[in-house]
A and B are shown apart, each in its own frame.
Chain A
Amino acid sequence: MTAVTAPARTPAGIEPPPERRPPLGARLASLVLPVFTGLAVFYLFLPIAVMIVFSFNDPSGRQNITWQGFTFQNYLDIWGRPDITGPMVNAIVVAVAATLIATILGTLIGIALTRYDFRGRNGLNLLIFIPMATPEIIMGASLLSLFVSFGVQRDLTTIIIAHVMFNISYVVVTVRARIAGFNRSLEEAAMDLGADEWQTFRRVTFPLIFPGILAAALLAFALSIDDYVITSFVAGRSITFPLWVFGVSRLGVPPEVNVLGTLIFLVAIAFIAVQIWSQRRSIRAPATP
């Protein structure tokens, strides 16, 4: 049974032909994908929900797997525990530093690889690619070997070095995808209009490939803040959040772990919310003449 939608008003008063609503089968079929995606997102968030819920748990024993009572105390206690907040700060510092350096280095390589032809290109491709295929434990152990033999004290600096190393490949791969799809003619147009190379890059190329660079940076950040294996080898006596979590969670995940996990998660949400809000604003803001 089809229904006739109210005709839209058009300037000349001419009514467009009545729309037919698609048949029920097709409508259902078109729901499949969104529902599936919704379920998938639910699936993705399920462990997060568990983590958040159990951060409010008040266990009497060592175990934090059965619900024993609601408390905010965990959240309040955290701040007085430098042994917990310390690793978190370390992880962030390392991730930010490593992301910045790796993104810059990786983007440069990505540009070079996509735009220019030069000797040693294949070799470089291989060099970029192999770290991604290497088991982390091998990379970690080999770095440790290197640092020890040169008497380099292992601390946050060595962690950052290691993280930059494995991030470069991911950045290159991500950025390359974006640059490859980039329309050269825009650059050519700019140059035809009198811009020199640097100006073109700054005002045409860079803004257009920026989403790719941002995506690469996000990826690098996520990889860095989450890294356990390589970090465990090169951390020396410093501790980052994943290392700390591994250490304390051997006998069951204490609520502190969940609290920190939840806090990180909230920060990430806040960051995204800000991003979306600023995007909306820039869309609504009138274009400057």
Chain B
Amino acid sequence: MPRRYRWLVPYLFLIPGGLWLLAFFVVPMLVMASVSLQTGSLGTGYALTWNFGVYPEMIQQWAPQFARSLFYAIVVTVLTVAIGYPMAYTIAFRGGRYKNVLLLLVILPFFTAYIIRTLAWKLILADNGFVLGSLKDFGILDDAFRLIATPVAVISGLTYNFLPFMVLPLYVALEKIDPRLIEAATDLYASRLQAFLRVTLPLSMPGVFAGSLLTFIPAIGDFINSEILGSRDTTMIGQVIQRLFLNNNAYPEAAALGFMLMAAVLGLIFVYARAVGADELTRG
């Protein structure tokens, strides 16, 4: 390609995708932003009143659900790291020839529909299903014990559903680590634990970061797990937005809540990125 057109190249690459996002993401979002500032109803029509007051109003009204969603999402993220890191580590360092197979095994369950998996958990965790039922028959559990319609079930469901999103990026990061670095550490008299803590773990942080994002973000806005496995006391902000939007036709309020969720998530990610030292957001 002639030198003088070189500068065009990145833009050429960007334009198709960029335009798509512009047309089908940015524009609709601007419309929704406008909706959030409107007042009115289906019957009387909506008018753009620049009603910024809807934002504090929504925060105040739904703060508990926001807080709860945040809490659940953090717990879920921590759990997925706790479960996913050893898995990814084993596959990356001990997988040998079977690395790809194992990885595919991890993703495989996720070729079924989200709802089917969650409903299956409802069956597994059922009050008198084959798990709890047996435990109750043996007297290990009290008859009145239940998991469904508790926060435990919701968090379990969320953890399960987002585990692969943690394992995959972790695996990618761990797999890229040059094993000779670890060898070098042990050659220098580091114990295996030390080698892990001081070489492997820091090098895998980008994977931890990516995995956390991929888990935290959908988890905080999820409503399906709480709907199926939870109760009124586990209501998450996603369910509130759903209800406002679809049952109550309260579009401005729902849009406002949605944007606030977005803003909260972005803010948290920014803080997290700084803490973890990952500059992936601000750099390419």
Which applies to chain B's interface (DSSP): helix, strand, loop or mixed? helix
In chain A, what residue has the closest Cβ to B216? Answer: A133
Q: When the two chains form their complex, are residues A142 and B124 in contact, meaning their CB atoms are under 8 A apart?
A: no
Chain B residues near A249 (CB, 8 Å)?
115, 119
Chain B residues near A218 (CB, 8 Å)?
107
Chain A residues near B7 (CB, 8 Å)?
118
Q: When the two chains form their complex, are residues A146 and B28 in contact, meaning their CB atoms are under 8 A apart?
A: yes
Within 101-128 of A, Cβ neighbours of B (below 8 Å) are at: 104-106, 108-109, 111-116, 118, 121-122, 124-125, 127-128
Q: When the two chains form their complex, are residues A133 and B24 in contact, meaning their CB atoms are under 8 A apart?
A: no
Question: At the interface with chain B, which of A2-10, A68-76, A257-265?
Answer: A257-265
A249-B168 Cα distance, complex, nearest whole Å: 30
Within 75-120 of A, Cβ neighbours of B (below 8 Å) are at: 104-106, 108-109, 111-116, 118
Given contacts A50-B120, A125-B282, A127-B18, contact A138 B29 (CB under 8 A): yes
- Which of B108, B114, B221 contacts A269, CB < 8 Å? B108
Chain A residues near B275 (CB, 8 Å)?
none
Q: When the two chains form their complex, are residues B113 and A245 in contact, meaning their CB atoms are under 8 A apart?
A: yes
Chain A residues near B9 (CB, 8 Å)?
112, 116
Q: When the two chains form their complex, are residues B114 and A265 in contact, meaning their CB atoms are under 8 A apart?
A: no
Q: When the two chains form their complex, are residues A109 and B113 in contact, meaning their CB atoms are under 8 A apart?
A: no
Chain B residues near A189 (CB, 8 Å)?
none
Q: When the two chains form their complex, are residues A116 and B26 in contact, meaning their CB atoms are under 8 A apart?
A: no
Q: Mark B91-103, 1 if CB is under 8 A from A, else 0.
A: 1001000001110
Q: Mark A127-161, 1 if CB is under 8 A from B, else 0.
A: 11111111111110111011000000000000001
A128-B113 Cα distance, complex, nearest whole Å: 26
Given contacts A46-B124, A197-B1, A222-B111, contact A122 B282 (CB under 8 A): yes
* A220 interface residue per 8 A CB criterion: no
A146-B28 Cα distance, complex, nearest whole Å: 6
Q: When the two chains form their complex, are residues A265 and B112 in contact, meaning their CB atoms are under 8 A apart?
A: yes
In chain A, what residue has the closest Cβ to B93? Answer: A33
Given contacts A108-B16, A146-B24, contact A41 B242 (CB under 8 A): no
A129-B278 Cα distance, complex, nearest whole Å: 14
- Which of A47, A111, A128 contacts B21, CB < 8 Å? A128
In chain B, what residue has the closest Cβ to A137? Answer: B241
A280-B64 Cα distance, complex, nearest whole Å: 54
Q: When the two chains form their complex, are residues B90 and A36 in contact, meaning their CB atoms are under 8 A apart?
A: yes
A139-B259 Cα distance, complex, nearest whole Å: 10
- Which of A104, A118, A177 contacts B210, CB < 8 Å? A177
Q: When the two chains form their complex, are residues B86 and A109 in contact, meaning their CB atoms are under 8 A apart?
A: no
- How far is the CB of A143 from the nearest CB of chain B, in Å? 5
A121-B279 Cα distance, complex, nearest whole Å: 14
Given contacts A44-B163, A109-B14, contact A50 B245 (CB under 8 A): no
Q: When the two chains form their complex, are residues B124 and A137 in contact, meaning their CB atoms are under 8 A apart?
A: no
A residues apposed to B, CB below 8 Å: 33-34, 36-37, 40-41, 43-48, 50-51, 54, 65, 104-106, 108-109, 111-116, 118, 121-122, 124-125, 127-139, 141-143, 145-146, 161-162, 164-165, 168, 172-173, 176-178, 181, 197, 215, 218-219, 222, 225-226, 228, 241-242, 245-246, 249, 253, 257-258, 261, 264-265, 268-269, 272, 275-276, 279
Q: When the two chains form their complex, are residues A143 and B28 in contact, meaning their CB atoms are under 8 A apart?
A: yes
- How far is the CB of A87 from the nearest CB of chain B, in Å? 11
**Interface size bucket, B side?**
35 or more
Q: When the two chains form their complex, are residues A105 and B16 in contact, meaning their CB atoms are under 8 A apart?
A: yes
- Which of A136, A138, A143, A225 contacts B24, CB < 8 Å? A143
Q: When the two chains form their complex, are residues B31 and A146 in contact, meaning their CB atoms are under 8 A apart?
A: yes
* B147 interface residue per 8 A CB criterion: no
* B202 interface residue per 8 A CB criterion: no
Q: When the two chains form their complex, are residues A135 and B262 in contact, meaning their CB atoms are under 8 A apart?
A: yes
- How far is the CB of B20 from the nearest CB of chain A, in Å? 6
Chain A residues near B101 (CB, 8 Å)?
272, 276
Chain B residues near A131 (CB, 8 Å)?
21, 25
- Which of B1, B21, B281 contacts A125, CB < 8 Å? B281
A245-B224 Cα distance, complex, nearest whole Å: 13
A279-B99 Cα distance, complex, nearest whole Å: 12
Within 210-238 of B, Cβ neighbours of A (below 8 Å) are at: 210, 213, 217, 221, 224, 238
A50-B13 Cα distance, complex, nearest whole Å: 45
Q: Mark B202-214, 1 if CB is under 8 A from A, else 0.
A: 0000100010010
Q: Mark B58-95, 1 if CB is under 8 A from A, else 0.
A: 00000000000000000000000001001101110010
Chain A residues near B126 (CB, 8 Å)?
65
Q: When the two chains form their complex, are residues B284 and A125 in contact, meaning their CB atoms are under 8 A apart?
A: yes
Could you give 8 example pairs across A and B, Cβ below 8 Å?
A: A33-B89, A131-B21, A135-B221, A146-B24, A177-B206, A241-B113, A265-B109, A268-B108
